[in-house]
């Protein structure tokens, strides 16, 4: 691994960090064959309990395209069925200890990407004059870009990604109110987005934490927010 890093002009740590991961990927798509395709298939991108894993045959056929598209949908990526740099970088989520946030970008809607309304509510919470309509269109993208400009001097875009969520979310708990609470409520099933962190929201949060983000203390901090944005093995 150190030799490969040296060849790519990267620090020779010997570890497969994000920069190394991205530098080594080989983009693949329909019609591709070979070891790079086997690499894609070995991640079983659309893994689901009770469903047979994707065949690792080195041929990028319809089943692989469908699996990659489903993986992209779950993580909020561009849904094109191609295993390019963006998709490969998210395959790292299949490794133990990864801490990747889901994404939301222009063109997404709530029915395709369940994070859209949450992003919109959080942008409003931070001062954006935005209608929360579940459609991540140009106005939401521009609101995201403007918010990013208040946070950093580079890596500015219209996409909500890894650099954004940690600063965008805000701790919420029983008794709180506002658009950050609405964002939370939009990510939990069966809750009205009324912006009031009352007993029903508290119970829903504790149930979610019990299963995905213990301890179940009802406090929605970074760990719980992260768990709310990532797929749960659909």
CB atoms within 10 A of CB 111: 9
CA distance 131 to 126: 13
Report d(CA 16, CA 96) in Å as an integer: 13
- Residue 53 sits in the same domain as residue 84: yes
DSSP string across 13-25: -SS--HHHHHHH-
> Please, is 148 exposed, middle or buried when counting C-beta atoms within 10 Å of its C-beta (0-12, 13-18, 19+)?
buried
DSSP string covering 217-231: -S-B-HHHHHHHHS-
Q: Mark whether 120 and 199 lie in a shared domain.
A: yes
Is 100 part of any domain? no
User: For 195, left (φ over 0), alpha (ψ -120 to 50), or beta?
Assistant: left
39 and 8 both lie in a single domain: yes
Residue 176 lies in a domain: yes
Domain interval for residue 8: 2-94
105, 68 Cβ separation under 8 angstroms = no
The 10s digit of each residue's pLDDT in 69-127 is 999 999 999 999 999 988 888 887 666 566 889 999 999 999 999 999 999 999 999 99
- Judgement on whether residues 22 and 121 belong to the same structural domain of the protein: no
Look up residue 22 and give its two tokens: 């991205």
Residues 173 and 88 occupy one common structural domain:
no
* 109 lies in some domain: no
- Same domain? 84 vs 133: no
Same domain membership, residue 127 and residue 224: yes
**Do residues 168 and 219 share a domain?**
yes
* 24: exposed, middle or buried (Cβ count in 10 Å: 0-12, 13-18, 19+): middle
Domain termination residue (choose one: 37, 62, 94):
94
Q: Which of 61, 94, 127 is the last residue of a domain?
A: 94
Q: Kindly report the CATH number assigned to the domain that includes residue 69.
A: 1.10.101.10
Are 77 and 7 found together in one domain? Answer: yes
According to DSSP, the residues that pair with 121 across neighbouring strands are none
Place of tokens 């912006």: 195
Residues 130-167: pLDDT tens digits? 999 999 999 999 999 999 999 999 999 999 999 999 99
Max Cα distance, the chain (Å): 57
Q: Is residue 213 part of a domain?
A: yes
Instruction: Check: pTM over 0.85? Answer yes or no.
Output: no
What's the token pair of residue 34?
């070979």
How many separate domains does the chain show?
Answer: 2
Residue 106 lies in a domain: no
Residue 83, beta-bridge partner list: 28
Q: Among 165, 166, 194, 192, which Cα is nearest to 178's?
A: 194
Confidence of residue 3 (pLDDT cuts 50, 70, 90): low
Within a domain: residue 214? yes
Output the six-digit token pair for 208: 């979610």
User: What is the per-residue pLDDT across 166-194, written as a single tens digit (0 to 9) for each?
Assistant: 999 999 999 999 999 999 999 999 999 99
Q: Of 94, 125, 151, which residue sits at a domain end?
A: 94
Rg (CA), the chain: 19
């Amino acid at each position: 691994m150190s030799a490969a890093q040296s060849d790519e002009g990267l620090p020779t740590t010997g570890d497969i960090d994000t920069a190394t991961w991205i530098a080594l990927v080989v983009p693949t798509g329909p019609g591709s064959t070979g070891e790079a395709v086997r690499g894609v298939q070995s991640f079983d991108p659309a893994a689901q309990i009770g469903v047979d894993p994707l065949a690792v045959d080195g041929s990028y056929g319809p089943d692989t395209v469908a699996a990659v598209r489903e993986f992209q949908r779950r993580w909020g990526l561009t849904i094109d069925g191609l295993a390019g740099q963006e998709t490969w970088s998210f395959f790292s989520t299949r490794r133990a200890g990864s801490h990747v946030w889901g994404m939301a970008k222009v063109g997404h809607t709530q029915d395709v990407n369940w994070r859209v309304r949450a992003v919109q509510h959080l942008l409003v919470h931070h001062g954006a004059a935005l209608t929360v309509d579940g459609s991540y269109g140009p106005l939401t993208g521009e609101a995201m870009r403007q918010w990013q400009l208040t946070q950093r001097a580079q890596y500015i875009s219209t996409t909500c990604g890894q650099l954004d969520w940690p600063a965008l979310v805000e701790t919420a708990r029983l008794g709180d109110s506002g658009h950050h609470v609405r964002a939370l409520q939009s990510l939990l099933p069966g809750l009205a987005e009324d912006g009031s962190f009352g007993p029903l929201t508290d119970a829903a949060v504790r149930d979610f934490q019990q299963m995905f983000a213990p301890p179940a203390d009802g406090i929605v901090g970074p760990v719980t927010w992260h768990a709310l944005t990532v797929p749960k093995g659909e």
